Structure 1
């Protein structure tokens, strides 16, 4: 039981000595700068998801009304 514990402890110590932290970042773009061409708007995907949920809900309502008749 002592050998597996010793092996795990040795691996954790070895991993800790090899790990390095990231350097300081730039903090992002300055306020007032135009967005980059790679920025993706979240509105397009959210509106498509909302529209598809609405269509699916209407389809289910129509199916439920036809079964009730």
Structure 2
């Protein structure tokens, strides 16, 4: 049984795009001497990169077999 994923993808895309709003102008960033508000994205980004590489290798190995 083959499932067409295009309608589900389009519905998901439209629902997420409709809820995305632009942010208004901020205060211009953090002021010197204040509490830091920056958050490093190292942990999540490296996990996503490793997961994508593992998925790609799995797909390539499955295609060769």
TM range (shorter): 0.3 to 0.5
Q: Which has the higher helix share?
A: 1
TM-score of the aligned structures, taking structure 2 as reference length: 0.45
TM-score of the aligned structures, taking structure 1 as reference length: 0.43
> Which of 1 and 2 has greater Rg?
1
Greater relative contact order, per chain length (Cα 8 Å cut-off, separation 6+)? 2
